[in-house]
Structure 1
Amino acid sequence: MSISKKDQISQGALRAFAQYGYSDTTMDSIADVAQVAKGTLYYHFKTKEELFYHVNRKGVEMLIDSVTNAMQDTSRPVKERMLGVLDEHLRFFSEHQEFCLLLLSYTSGDPERDQMVRTLLADYFETVEQFLRELQRLGVINAELEVQTLASALFGMVGFTALRKIFRGEPLYTEETRTALISLCKGALAIEH
């Protein structure tokens, strides 16, 4: 199945932004990476900033969908869903390494653009925090633990593990990595091993 020109451009932009960062990525380089004519690029996206926003929004939406599916996985007992969410984060970053690089390692250098990314991530954090509050209500997570910190710790623990492995050229979604992260999560949340 062929992808639309807009998706082709989006994928090329993601690769370019992840490889060069925002400042060093040009519309010409995006057209080259996406293998589209500049006219086609400008037909779909008028500016690099519009394209940067589109790529980040699409990536964060995919992350939210992925994590939400793990949260709603009724095939797992409720006590194991948190571990499934952690595992889903790792799988997502493994399958979307360029987005992981873009999201976690590059700032655009512009306070407004960086605020835009933070705003997009606010939706992600609200989704995860809602899930963690529900687990607290059910007694799965200690009621004394602050949910915002837990959500940040989960994101940071998996995200920066993924980022380090990407930078080192190491496989990301391995049993060893999963076991280490799940073990940390179990210890922090007092889930039985």
Structure 2
Amino acid sequence: MAPSKKDQIANGALTAFAQLGYSETTMDAIAEMAQVAKGTLYYHFSTKEELFLYVIEKGVKMLIYHVDNVIQNEELSLEDRILNVLDEHLRFFSENQDLCFLLLSAFSGDGQRDRMVGNLLGGYFSTMESHMLELQQQGYIRADIDIRTLASALFGMVGFTVLRKQFRKEPVNSAADKQTLRYMLSGMFQNNV
């Protein structure tokens, strides 16, 4: 199924923002990357900032959806769900490297835009913190672990691992990557799951 024009534009904008950065990306560059006429672009998005926030919001919602599906999968043991959350982050970021780069570099110094991006990422962190707090209350995550720090560390640890490998043109999401990241997170578990 072919993407809608709005999705086509968002995909082109994601590529443009990731390659050129926010300040260097123009609506002309977005139209070119999305392979749409400028009129079509402006029909769907009136400003670059509106489009930027749409791309970030769409990406964060995709990440939440994928991670939430793993957490809610009752066919897996709770221990497997916990570890698969890490694997899902790694898979998601490795399959969406432009989005990974954009999410980790989205803050621009523009206070209003940074607050808006922060609010969008806040939805992800609220979801992760809620799930992790529940696991902590059930005794799976150690009581002395700060849940906010844990959620931030997971996001940054996986995201920056993928970015570094991307910049170095190394394969991402290998068995060694998963094992190393799982080992690093294993200290959060009450009984070292």
Q: TM-score range by the shorter chain?
A: over 0.9
Would you say 1:104 and 2:104 are equivalent positions?
yes
2:96 is matched by which residue type in structure 1? H
The 5 A counterparts of 1:35-184 are: 35-184=35-184
Report which stretch shifted further, 14-23 or 170-179: 170-179
Name the SS for the 1:2 alignment partner: coil
**Structure 2 residue aligned with 1:27:** 27
* Distance across 2 between alignment mates of 1:191 and 1:89: 23
* Distance across 2 between alignment mates of 1:112 and 1:168: 33
* Distance across 2 between alignment mates of 1:153 and 1:57: 21
* Distance across 2 between alignment mates of 1:180 and 1:190: 19
* Distance across 1 between alignment mates of 2:181 and 2:105: 20
Report which stretch shifted further, 65-74 or 107-116: 107-116
Name the SS for the 1:56 alignment partner: helix
Report which stretch shifted further, 181-190 or 35-44: 181-190
Q: CA deviation at 1:23?
A: 0.0
1:10 is matched by which residue type in structure 2? A
CA contact (8 A) 1:23 1:109 kept: no
* Distance across 1 between alignment mates of 2:192 and 2:149: 21
Q: CA deviation at 1:173?
A: 1.1
* Distance across 1 between alignment mates of 2:118 and 2:83: 25
Q: CA deviation at 1:49?
A: 0.6
Q: Deviations over 1:81-117 (max 9, x none)?
A: 2111111000000111110011113433412111111
2:113 is matched by which residue type in structure 1? R
Q: CA deviation at 1:164?
A: 0.9
**Structure 2 residue aligned with 1:6:** 6
* Distance across 1 between alignment mates of 2:191 and 2:2: 45
Q: CA deviation at 1:73?
A: 1.5
Q: Deviations over 1:31-87 (max 9, x none)?
A: 000011111101111100110010000000001101101111112211222111111
1:26 is matched by which residue type in structure 2? T
| CA-based RMSD | 1.3
Structure 1 unpaired stretches of 5+: none
Identity of aligned residues (%): 58
**Structure 2 residue aligned with 1:15:** 15
2:105 is matched by which residue type in structure 1? S
Name the SS for the 1:184 alignment partner: helix
Report which stretch shifted further, 42-51 or 149-158: 149-158
1:165 is matched by which residue type in structure 2? K
Question: Cα gap change, 1:148/1:124 in structure 2, threshold over 3 Å: closer, same or farther?
Answer: same
CA contact (8 A) 2:70 2:81 kept: yes
Q: Deviations over 1:132-159 (max 9, x none)?
A: 1111111101112111111111111111
Name the SS for the 1:36 alignment partner: coil
* Distance across 2 between alignment mates of 1:86 and 1:39: 42
Say how many residue pairs are matched.
193
